Structure 1
Amino acid sequence: MKNLETLDLSYNELSSLTIQDSKLLSNLSKMRHLDLSDNDFDKDAFGILGALPSLKFLSLELNRIEGPLSNQELTYNLSNLEVLFLGYNQLNGTLPIEGLTSFRHLESLDLSGNNFASIPPSIGALSSLKALFLAKNNLNGSLPIQGLCKLKKLEELDLSQNCFEGILPPCLSNLTSLKFFDISLNQFTGNISSSLFGSLNSLEYISLSHNRFEGLFSFRSFANHSNLEVVELISDNDKFEVETEFTDWIPMFQLKVLVLSNCNLNKLSGDVPKFLLYQNKLMAVDLSHNNLTSSFPNWLLVNNTRLAYLALQNNSFVNLFFLPQYCYISTYDIDVSDNHLSGQIQANIGDMFPNIQSLNLSRNAFEGGIPSSFGKMRELSVLDLSNNNLSREVPNQLVRNCISLWTLKLSYNNFRGQIFSVDFNLTHIRTLQLNDNQFTGPL
């Protein structure tokens, strides 16, 4: 065992490491990878560290390590340690930065899912860090600008689901190596300066959602970010605006996910962002709750054949919900509810979305009947056609073949005839709303 370099004891029910265990491990001087995650270890587990001078990777995630973590408990001669995972324990207090500095080559630190309350300014001493994960703690107050902005090697920074407040410091623009940046679900306020992200050209993922930002933000700040793939920005107030149409511009990026919800998107024009015309790798788009106008942007689906999720609810789209003849096999969720779409639903809609799981067309002005091709949507689990002007009988193909349906909402229309016929085969149904129609027949 002396040459053992990797030991994985994760997902067991181990609860302690004794002195004898420590002597055993002292023979493993070449061990580089130790995974003790998802057990019942407490702080005593740190006692083995001095016996493993070659260790590069250590995971003690998902254990029962609790209380403050003192600097002394982390002072070991582990100059080779590069990765330390202590997430999802019950640690609290202040981050023990002085102890962590003994790990001189530490590149990845994960303390997510604990109860830490503050980050000292001395965090800047962890100069080798490339990844810092502090999500789901109780961190509060302003960001420790003096230290955080010194971590110029950072490529991943996750501060989501905390209680941070105040403005985003301009010095964050110094983190030019940043690829992943998530500050969602905090209480940040003030304007988002366009210059803040202009220099972060390495960004691939950015989430600013669920904060208290105000003022106007120009999406064109990301124009030269050629690696950008995910942008998420959901506003929780009505004081924040995102503008994409100040000038004509062509992005260098190809997004996979775009979420711009409830952010007064293009408030003056009401236009769907024109830069989306140049995107062809989108997998998820959410432009909901923005009062966008014009016709339904069917070109989003046409241009992006891998688009799985499209949320356009609560806007002001008008005219037909029309799609060119194509089989959109990747699409599983569409929500265009709360708009002003009208006309009849395409007869071949079931052929176009064979794998769709959720379809919400409610609160529009659709008329005519439900196409029988709905019966070809065998994966459909949620269908909401309520609050329209739909009429005629519900096709047998729908209630016979869509056996995965667990939510069916047809209320506030003009449907007639029987729905609980001998063909009714919705055995997994949990929510069924048929009120305010003209259905007849026995139950």
Structure 2
Amino acid sequence: MNSLQAKNFLCFSPISFLFYGLAIICLTSTNVSASYDGNETDYLALLSFKSKITHDPYKVLTSWNHSFHFCDWSGISCGKRHKRVNALQLNSQGLEGSLSPHVGNLSFLREISLENNSFQGTIPHELGRLSRLRRLHLNINKFSGVIPTNLSGCSNLKDLWLALNNLSGSIPKEMSLLSKLSRLVIQDNNLTGGIPTFLGNITSMEVFTARRNPFGGSIPDTLGVWKSLTVFYSGDCNLYGRIPHSIFNLSLLVNFSLAENHLSGSLPSEIGSQLPNLELLQLRNNELTGVLPPSLSNCSKLGLLEMGDNNFSGKLTIDFSKLRYINKIQLSNNNFHGRGEVDDMKFIDSLKNCSRLVRLELANCRFIGVLPTSIGNLSEQLISLHLGGNQLFGSIPSSIGSLVGLILLDLESNRFKGKIPSSIGKLQKMQFLTLISNQLSRPIIDDIGNLSLLTKLYLYSNKIEGHIPLSLGNCKELNGLALRYNRLSGKIPKQILQLPSLTNFLDLSFNSLSGSIPSEIKDLKMLSYLDLSYYNLSGTITSSLGECISLTMLNLRGNQFQGIIPSSLSSLGGLGVFDISQNNLSGKIPQFLDKWNSLEFLNISFNDFEGKVPVTGVFANASAFSVLGNNRLCGGSVTLELPECKEKGSKKKRFPFFISVIVIAPTLFIVLCCVYSFCKKKRNGKPSQSSGNERFLKVSYNQLLKATDGFSVENLIGEGGFSSVYKGILNCDDDDDRFVAVKVLHLQNQGAHKSFLAECEVWLNIPHRNLLKIITSCSSVDFQGNDFKALVYEFMPNGSVHDWLHSSENTSKLNLIQRINILRDVATALDYIHNRCQTMIIHGDLKPSNILLDNDMVAYVGDFDLARLLSADSVGLIPICWRQRQLQNSYS
């Protein structure tokens, strides 16, 4: 700066200096003012919103700074004229933090949309200041607390979406002031207090979805004023009572769902005419009764019909041919059988026009009849067909092979006979096939190998014969194969054992296969469950099994294996169940067995093992293992009552042989004389009260129904997992009326049928004065065509020992003499079944409730449903209920 410039600068007036100073200030503050353009309230409110965000993974808020006007910030929209924020939209940005109450200062807001983030804390009540707000979308966050009552101040609110949060409390009464509200979405929260009646005041409601809230209460009749309603979802809300008739007058309803509640009553017969616009009707998992209205045929737009798990009855008479848009029909677990008719499946004919049908679920509906050939006319888009648990008979129609889109086919628990149709081999998209519990016979078709995508195949509990087809080796995706309880013969195909996909279960038990376990078993390194019990296998246990290192259950019971347990099995440390009972195995118990930490049950009974029983690991728990029938074992826990093991190297002195003869011979002679005298007295005495020649009564289901007054609750005297016991009076044609106890089997429970057979088998072998006397048995069908099995016993008027020891109803107690007599009676009974029967019997469930008392307080042992006959070919000691539970866990 020269002298002249300096002189001119110094000559500036104070006014000029002030002017330039202001200019500098303006220049330096231009960026700041640009960020709010005079609307500082909105600017500060947005900065407060940003300050509450603790995590911004996509950096969406990096643009929220003074370098840009807030109308240009991400997620912000402003009005063109006044430059005020009218929309805050930040959906699915992964934002974490809380919602600032200063958002309530954005007075021009019409929309807040923060869906699918991780906002926490409460919803600020300051939002109630936003009188212009029309849409508040806070779905899929972590908001907690209650719905703010102040939201009633949002008088223009149309959409309130608060779904999938952690909100609690009840719907506030103030919400009824939102007269313009048309869409209320509050599903998947923890709201209680029922669906309030005051919601009926909001006559503009079009969408109401509140499912999966523990509301409780009933559906208010006032909701019938929602004449504009198109969507109503209130499933899984713990609702009870009837569906109000006013609901069925909402003729604009498109989607109607009340699934998984406790609703009762019947549906109006004209529901199809009242709700003609229905596209979704979902009332499954309730307690609805009556006939499924045929008028549903009028819902020509219906795409989804879910009415399963109710108590609908009567014949299914819906004309499905009118439902051209139907996608899914789910009617399982109802009682649609037509009385006295056997053509329940005739409605299948009307499904041929349903070209969009993808799922047809009709399991456990009590249908009776043949499966019509028209089943092959169903849509090629059909991917799942459930017909299990009915009473369908005849053969499986070959036309089923036309359903080329099928992925799942369930025909289990019916009465199908004959062979598996070879046309099933055309269903090359099939992944899950179950035909269990039918009466199918003949060999398994070779065409089964065409199902290259098959993952699970269930064919057990049939009468299938012949060999296991080698073509199963072509099913490269197969991870579970269950063929037990059939009549298969031959050897285990190596092709199956070389399927690397077989990881879940392989169950070939209870067949007539033979040979040894192929060494190729080693290829099943990832298999979890292997059951080859009662299979007639022989030879030694292959050491290759040691390479199946993922096994959690291994059952080789009831075969003819010889030799020792191979040491290679020590690698199976993940086993939970290991059963090699009822074989011809020998040698010592391997030391590695007590090292397996995961082992829950070990059964090595009825072999020829010798030496010391360990006391650690699984052997420390007497209920977790069995070594019965191994007469050369010693030691172990005290409860086993095995002889002590001899020390190595120790030798006991022996008496000379002639001294032994002199001492033992007279004693033996005296014992033999006593035994002869006792047997002679027994022959001259009276026969046992249960004579093998006694004629069993023949009784019908109807007789037992009358005897127990319709199996009434008043006559129920006991209940267990497999059965219920009723007292009754049996009217016999050739005898006076007699009091009886009727044990009715719960055949729907797994193991009940086997329990019935086991108990029948036991009673045929044990006539004794202290064993409960069986009068007869009944194996029939009830009036609905269901299998019925029952055992009839003499009624014991003094109940059980458990009642006398623990029940408050018995004011008197057993005296000492009575207790001793009961112990004697029980001991006599046990001595008989253990030592004096032709076949040794183990009761398996002896407890005070199974010891019954007659008028004279004589004790009788009963309830032999878990008993086992320990003959060479017996089923063994593991109760059927335990086996069924293990199978179910492995197959699930």
- Of the three residues 183, 187, 190, the one matched with 2:331 is 183
Contact 1:389 1:414 in 2 (8 A): yes
Q: Secondary structure at the match of 2:415?
A: coil
Partner of 1:36: 187
- Tell me whether 152-161 or 36-45 shows the greater mean CA deviation: 36-45
Q: Secondary structure at the match of 2:354?
A: coil
Partner of 1:217: 371
Q: Distance in 1 between matches of 2:319 and 2:264?
A: 24
Partner of 1:142: 291
> Aligned runs of 1:125-274 on 2, under 5 Å?
125-146=274-295, 148-190=296-338, 191-193=344-346, 194-218=348-372, 221-222=375-376, 224-235=378-389, 239-241=391-393, 243-245=395-397, 250-265=401-416, 267=417, 269=418, 271-274=419-422
Question: How far off its partner does 1:288 sit?
Answer: 1.7
Q: Distance in 2 between matches of 1:286 and 1:135?
A: 24
- Tell me whether 149-158 or 325-334 shows the greater mean CA deviation: 325-334
1:345 equivalenced with 2:517 (yes/no): yes
Does the C-alpha gap of structure 1 residues 48 and 303 become closer, same or farther in structure 2, counting only changes over 3 Å? Answer: farther
Contact 1:280 1:304 in 2 (8 A): no
Does the C-alpha gap of structure 1 residues 264 and 70 become closer, same or farther in structure 2, counting only changes over 3 Å? Answer: same
Does the C-alpha gap of structure 1 residues 374 and 128 become closer, same or farther in structure 2, counting only changes over 3 Å? Answer: farther
1:2 equivalenced with 2:110 (yes/no): yes
Does the C-alpha gap of structure 1 residues 363 and 263 become closer, same or farther in structure 2, counting only changes over 3 Å? Answer: farther
Q: Which amino acid aligns with 2:283?
A: L
Q: Secondary structure at the match of 2:371?
A: strand
Q: Which amino acid aligns with 2:290?
A: G
1:72 equivalenced with 2:222 (yes/no): yes
Q: Distance in 2 between matches of 1:27 and 1:139?
A: 37
> Aligned runs of 1:233-382 on 2, under 5 Å?
233-235=387-389, 239-241=391-393, 243-245=395-397, 250-265=401-416, 267=417, 269=418, 271-290=419-438, 291-298=462-469, 301-324=472-495, 326-329=498-501, 331-351=503-523, 353-382=524-553
Q: Which amino acid aligns with 1:258?
A: L
Question: How far off its partner does 1:175 sit?
Answer: 2.8
Q: Secondary structure at the match of 1:63?
A: coil
Question: How far off its partner does 1:260 sit?
Answer: 1.9
Question: How far off its partner does 1:204 sit?
Answer: 2.2
Q: Distance in 1 between matches of 2:213 and 2:470?
A: 45
Partner of 2:264: 116
Q: Which amino acid aligns with 1:226?
A: E
Q: Distance in 2 between matches of 1:225 and 1:272?
A: 22
**Higher-RCO chain (CA-CA 8 Å, sequence separation at least 6):** 1
Q: Which consecutive residues of structure 2, in runs of 5 or more, have no partner in the other structure?
A: 1-108, 114-134, 162-182, 339-343, 439-461, 615-892
Contact 1:9 1:35 in 2 (8 A): no
Question: How far off its partner does 1:56 sit?
Answer: 4.7
- Tell me whether 88-97 or 29-38 shows the greater mean CA deviation: 29-38
1:436 equivalenced with 2:606 (yes/no): yes
Contact 1:26 1:52 in 2 (8 A): no
Q: Secondary structure at the match of 2:239?
A: strand
Q: Distance in 1 between matches of 2:193 and 2:467?
A: 56
Q: Which amino acid aligns with 2:580?
A: L
Question: How far off its partner does 1:299 sit?
Answer: 6.0
Question: How far off its partner does 1:64 sit?
Answer: 2.2
1:407 equivalenced with 2:601 (yes/no): no
Contact 2:329 2:361 in 1 (8 A): yes
Aligned length: 430
Q: Which amino acid aligns with 2:337?
A: T
Q: Distance in 2 between matches of 1:435 and 1:359?
A: 19
Question: How far off its partner does 1:167 sit?
Answer: 1.9
Does the C-alpha gap of structure 1 residues 98 and 407 become closer, same or farther in structure 2, counting only changes over 3 Å? Answer: farther
Q: Secondary structure at the match of 1:282?
A: coil
Structure number with higher helix proportion: 2
Question: How far off its partner does 1:317 sit?
Answer: 2.6
TM (norm. structure 2) is 0.44
Contact 1:279 1:304 in 2 (8 A): no
Q: Secondary structure at the match of 1:387?
A: coil
- Tell me whether 176-185 or 25-34 shows the greater mean CA deviation: 25-34
Q: Distance in 2 between matches of 1:300 and 1:53?
A: 64
Q: Distance in 2 between matches of 1:416 and 1:74?
A: 78
Q: Which amino acid aligns with 1:240?
A: L
Structure with greater Cα Rg: 2
Does the C-alpha gap of structure 1 residues 187 and 113 become closer, same or farther in structure 2, counting only changes over 3 Å? Answer: same
Contact 1:242 1:263 in 2 (8 A): no
Q: Which amino acid aligns with 1:208?
A: L
Q: Distance in 1 between matches of 2:208 and 2:571?
A: 52
Q: Secondary structure at the match of 1:93?
A: strand
Contact 2:401 2:425 in 1 (8 A): no
Q: Distance in 1 between matches of 2:420 and 2:240?
A: 45
TM (norm. structure 1) is 0.82
Question: How far off its partner does 1:39 sit?
Answer: 0.5
Contact 1:10 1:38 in 2 (8 A): no
1:90 equivalenced with 2:260 (yes/no): no
Contact 1:216 1:241 in 2 (8 A): yes
Question: How far off its partner does 1:37 sit?
Answer: 1.7
Q: Which amino acid aligns with 2:213?
A: L
Per-residue CA deviation, residues 61-90 of structure 1 (Å, 9 max, x unaligned), is 2322323x13313533654x44x3312222
Contact 1:295 1:320 in 2 (8 A): no
RMSD: 3.4
> Aligned runs of 1:10-29 on 2, under 5 Å?
17=147, 19-24=149-154, 27-29=157-159
Q: Distance in 1 between matches of 2:370 and 2:142?
A: 48
Per-residue CA deviation, residues 13-59 of structure 1 (Å, 9 max, x unaligned), is 65x65653444485354866724324032335675687695865723
Per-residue CA deviation, residues 232-267 of structure 1 (Å, 9 max, x unaligned), is 23236xx5315225x5774242332222223233x1
Q: Which consecutive residues of structure 1, in runs of 5 or more, have no partner in the other structure?
A: none
